[in-house]
Amino acid sequence: MDPYHSRTSGSWEAAERVDPVLHQGVAPGPLSKEQLERFDRDGYLALPGWFSEQEAAALLEACDALKVAHAGSDVVVAEPDSDVVRSVFKVHELHERLAALWQGERLAGVARQIVGSDVYVHQSRVNYKPALDGREFFWHSDFETWHVEDGMPRMRSVSASISLTPSTEFNGPLMLVPGSHRSYIRTVGETPPEHYKQSLRRQQIGVPDVDALSYLVERGGIVAPKGPAGTVVFFDCNTMHGSVGNLSPEPRTNLFFVLNSVENRLVEPFGGLPPRPEHIATRG
């Protein structure tokens, strides 16, 4: 039986993770032994200054150029109740600066250290939360969606969220539940066809209900890492995370790469529907 089946029952369930977090233990690489052990324990690692503020500014310029150049195309997703840009996908294939970025030791090197193999980009995007207009991203485990809707077999990928603007307690920072990567939450609700057309704007299927979220938070609490532009948060594919809307007068923009093991390439989606488009989930 599929150990990570989900959306098949009328009630939620917390299942035990069957995959390791560090696939080669404490392996050599950009992260120290202590940092790897913290990632293994908490399911995330926040690193202020991993990129300089000058590097972040150059990356933001590249992302903003893509937002303009690809307006109206499938890679650009709007907020659920307006035409404000929420996300731009497949950015690693659309700009040479972003293509070079993920391959360096500060991203791919860390991912290889965690997943124990070479990696490729499963998904890349820039998420915008403009002042006053940036909406929430509801709580979710990315792996639950990637398994059910994309066909990612096992928990062997890592996400990197790079702050291109300062991340504060006021502008909708990334929130995570420490330790939640150890429990797989089976969610409730059948996946409708072409679910991604709605879920990328506002996700309502594949999200935990209040009891499931309470189960995780009672054990791990909630953290919201903050820092200057250039801060990176690495987190496990199964870490429960989300973010609130931006009601501040300052924008919050982050660049997001999912680096998956080459030994964990996608198969047919486990939810039984056709796979999502290539710009959302790379199948090559």
126 phi, psi to nearest 5 deg: -115, 130
- Residue 8 inside a domain? The answer is no
CATH code: domain of residue 112: 2.60.120.620
61's CB contacts (< 8 A; 6+ apart) are none
Give the pLDDT confidence score for residue 132 in this predicted structure: 87
189 phi, psi to nearest 5 deg: 120, 125
How many Å apart are CA 191 and CA 233, to the nearest integer?
29
Judged on CB neighbours under 10 Å (0-12, 13-18, 19+), 222 is middle
Strands of the chain (E only): list them.
Answer: 13-16, 44-47, 76-78, 85-89, 119-129, 137-140, 157-163, 175-176, 183-186, 232-236, 241-243, 252-261
Give the pLDDT confidence score for residue 202 in this predicted structure: 79
- Structurally, how many domains does the chain consist of? 1
- Residue 191 inside a domain? The answer is yes
Residue 51, token pair as written in the block: 């990129």
How many Å apart are CA 163 and CA 252, to the nearest integer?
8
Give the pLDDT confidence score for residue 110 in this predicted structure: 98
- Residue 94 inside a domain? The answer is yes
147 phi, psi to nearest 5 deg: -70, -50
Give the pLDDT confidence score for residue 204 in this predicted structure: 81
Give the pLDDT confidence score for residue 48 in this predicted structure: 97
Is the separation of the CB atoms in 136 and 244 below 8 Å? yes
- Residue 145 inside a domain? The answer is yes
Give the pLDDT confidence score for residue 206 in this predicted structure: 86
Range of the domain at 207: 44-264
Average pLDDT, consecutive stretches of 10 residues, N- to C-terminus, the chain (284 residues): 94 96 95 98 98 97 92 88 88 94 97 98 95 86 97 98 96 96 96 82 87 97 97 98 94 96 98 94 87
Give the pLDDT confidence score for residue 133 in this predicted structure: 80
- Residue 148 inside a domain? The answer is yes
Give the pLDDT confidence score for residue 83 in this predicted structure: 82
31's CB contacts (< 8 A; 6+ apart) are 39, 45, 110, 113, 114
- Residue 169 inside a domain? The answer is yes
- Residue 193 inside a domain? The answer is yes
pTM across the whole model? 0.96
Is the separation of the CB atoms in 57 and 229 below 8 Å? yes
- Residue 283 inside a domain? The answer is no
